[in-house]
Amino acid sequence: MSAKRIEIYDTTLRDGAQGEGISFSSTGKIKVAKRLDEFGVDYIEGGYAASNPKDMEFFHAIKKEKLKHAKIAAFGSTRRANISCSEDVGTKALLEADTPVCTIFGKSWRLHVHEVLRTTEDENRAMIADTVRHLKKHGKEVIYDAEHFFDGFKDSREHALSTLKAAFDAGAHRLVLCDTNGGSLPSFIAGVTKEVVAMFGDCVGIHTHNDAELGVANSLEAIAAGACHVQGTINGFGERVGNANLCSVIPNIALKMGLTVLQPHSLNQLRDVSLLVNELANQRPSSKQAFVGTSAFAHKAGMHVDGVRKIASSFEHIDPASVGNERRILVSELSGTSNVFLKVIEMGLNLDKNAPEVKEILHELERMEKRGYEFEAAEGSFKLLIQKVLKRHKPFFKLEGFRVIVGKHKHDDTTVSEATVKLIVNGETTLTVGEGDGPVDALNAALRASLVKFYPTIKDVHLVDYNVRILDPQEATAAKTRVLIESTDGHQSWGTVGVSTNLIEASWEALVDSVEYKLFLEESRSAK
């Protein structure tokens, strides 16, 4: 007997786009929809039909794409009070969107009926039923989102349930219970959902927000109570603090609850989907995000690392690969030889765990961290450190000197930064000038310009993050500074670190490691 299947309804492009700082271009929306379809979600809510031209443009554009599985849904409200569906602007927009599915929201809470809609409870029920029937008459699959359902249930169980009955009797395909304010507790969600399922059967869905940090928990409780349909967003984007995060909801359903979700063998695409949506929304991925974050399977304490090396399940609740992620071993002053040993293995070096070289690397790590270095986010620098301790590091260039000038010609002029870098590369001296928005940007430009002639792949490297931390602020302007830089070549990313009492020198050190690590990677690939 096959496990119960849970429908996934993605509202990243509508509810997710309502989050602060979240915006998708028209092209970006199409890319997200196509990727979600490949991933295997059942419904993709493309936008609010009556909201803006961009959403309507999406509905018309997506019809030209051949989706494999997902149904596109247009979102809207019930008709307005005291007006027919045929005259209602919002209902007309839903039909104009020409999607196979229409999702409408209606009022479950008497507070909204009386104070927001300024109408009667009877008219509110009629608005729900009329809109469902009208859309059904036009051949639409109708999903009814019962807005503020749990708050409405607390206020008046009878009224909240009567609004569901209005939608159900009119032919709604799904009745979705919405915790719109995101303040309900899991036990309450579970109890109410169980009661609704007992009344209406296997057509109940759940839509939660994360205001109390319970969006995922509430979704899972509703599913355990009998809901067959769950709504949410990739990466938890959405109003206020966001919606239930599908990047956590989906793997929990599949791996913890043992229910069928998505398409077979697609769960391992989860991290890639998360990264794509972040990229198209111009958001930096959260390293701490469950399942898909870079820290989700990162191990730092020596005992943890040793345990994972022996048996992965000792400190990992799932196989990282099942969601498209990977294990990371961190190195710091808390590390033991196991951490260092696994890094050595990652680099393809043939050393025994108890070899004196491993202990030497650990001692050098401890010495560097006492000076202010930190390698947790600077794996590139740490792998170069290993090479240097083992005396296997070959410098790709030698610095003869650099100079940075920051100038402002007039009071209202923009500040100009210029850097001159003198290097020796393969026995040849180069002198290059670079300009940038600031001194570090100018140094980076000059360094790359000096090297690209000798190492063309350097042109693919660019900085994605630059972080400065003052290590001993009591020293004021003489304080030691740590600079962390994250770089990428478009295929992989790496972090590097520099420490100095001079900000420019610390930045230069991190920049040099960034470039040398890229060249080290290229050299390692060529040697294979």
CATH code (residue 517): 3.30.160.340
Q: Same domain for 480 and 496? A: yes
Residue 496 lies in a domain: yes
d(CA 218, CA 236): 14
Domain stop point among 410, 427, 454:
454
Structure confidence at residue 455 (pLDDT): 93
Tens-digit pLDDT string for the chain (528 aa): 356 899 999 999 999 999 999 999 888 999 999 999 999 999 999 999 987 788 999 999 999 999 999 999 999 999 999 999 999 999 999 999 999 999 999 999 999 999 999 999 999 999 999 999 999 999 999 999 999 999 999 999 999 999 999 999 999 999 999 999 999 999 999 999 999 999 999 999 999 999 999 999 999 999 999 999 999 999 999 999 999 999 999 999 999 999 999 988 899 999 999 999 998 898 888 989 999 998 898 877 666 666 776 777 787 899 999 999 987 766 655 555 566 666 666 666 667 767 787 778 777 877 887 788 877 778 888 888 888 888 888 889 999 999 999 988 777 778 889 999 999 999 999 999 999 888 989 999 999 999 999 999 998 888 888 888 887 666 655 568 899 999 988 888 888 999 998 999 999 999 999 999 999 888 877 665
Structure confidence at residue 250 (pLDDT): 98
Q: Same domain for 433 and 479? A: no
Residue 264 lies in a domain: yes
Q: Which two tokens stand for residue 227?
A: 């809901």
Q: Same domain for 264 and 404? A: no
Q: How many domains does the chain have?
A: 4
Q: What is the dihedral of CA 370, 372, 377, 379, to 10 degrees?
A: -60
> Which residues contact residue 48 at a Cβ distance below 8 angstroms, ignoring those fewer than 6 apart?
14, 55, 75, 76
Q: Same domain for 238 and 322? A: no
Q: Same domain for 268 and 140? A: yes
The CB density around residue 291, as the number of other CB atoms within 10 Å, is 25
Structure confidence at residue 342 (pLDDT): 66
d(CA 196, CA 61): 37
Q: What is the pLDDT of residues 320-347, one digit of tens each?
A: 999 999 877 666 555 555 666 666 666 6
d(CA 314, CA 181): 38
The string over 495-519, giving b where at least 16 C-beta atoms fall within 10 Å of a residue's C-beta and e elsewhere, is bbbbbbeebbebbbbbbbbbbbbbb
| CA 117-121-126 angle, 5° bins | 90
Structure confidence at residue 1 (pLDDT): 35
Residue 376 lies in a domain: yes
Q: Same domain for 339 and 208? A: no
* Residue 126: strand, helix, or coil: helix
Per the rule left: phi > 0, alpha: psi between -120 and 50, beta: everything else, 248 is alpha
Residue 290 lies in a domain: no
Domain stop point among 280, 313, 336:
280
d(CA 450, CA 398): 11
Integer-rounded Cα radius of gyration of the chain: 28
- DSSP assignment of 30-92: HHHHHHHHHHT-SEEEEEETTT-HHHHHHHHHHTTS--SSPEEEEEEEPPPTTS-GGG-HHHH
Residue 286 lies in a domain: no
CATH code (residue 431): 3.30.160
Q: Describe the strand order of the beta sheet including 462-470 as a list of residue ranges.
A: 462-470, 481-488, 493-500
> Which residues contact residue 51 at a Cβ distance below 8 angstroms, ignoring those fewer than 6 apart?
none
Q: Same domain for 419 and 518? A: no
Structure confidence at residue 369 (pLDDT): 77
Residue 46 lies in a domain: yes
Structure confidence at residue 332 (pLDDT): 57
Q: Same domain for 172 and 36? A: yes
CATH code (residue 31): 3.20.20.70
Domain stop point among 416, 437, 454:
454
Q: To which residue do tokens 């307005």 refer? A: 80
d(CA 333, CA 430): 39
Structure confidence at residue 115 (pLDDT): 95
Residue 288 lies in a domain: no
Q: Same domain for 25 and 151? A: yes
User: What are the residues facing 407 on neighbouring strands?
Assistant: 416
Range of the domain at 346: 298-366
Q: Same domain for 345 and 430? A: no
Answer whether 74's CB lies under 8 Å from 94's CB: yes
Residue 291 lies in a domain: no
d(CA 262, CA 23): 26
- DSSP assignment of 271-326: HHHHHHHHHHTT-PPPTT-TTTSTTTTEE-SHHHHHHHHH-GGGT-SS-GGGGT--
Question: At residue 521, what is the residue type?
Answer: L
Q: What is the pLDDT of residues 209-238, one digit of tens each?
A: 999 999 999 999 999 999 999 999 999 999
Q: Same domain for 11 and 110? A: yes
Structure confidence at residue 476 (pLDDT): 56
Answer whether 264's CB lies under 8 Å from 319's CB: no
Q: Same domain for 209 and 346? A: no
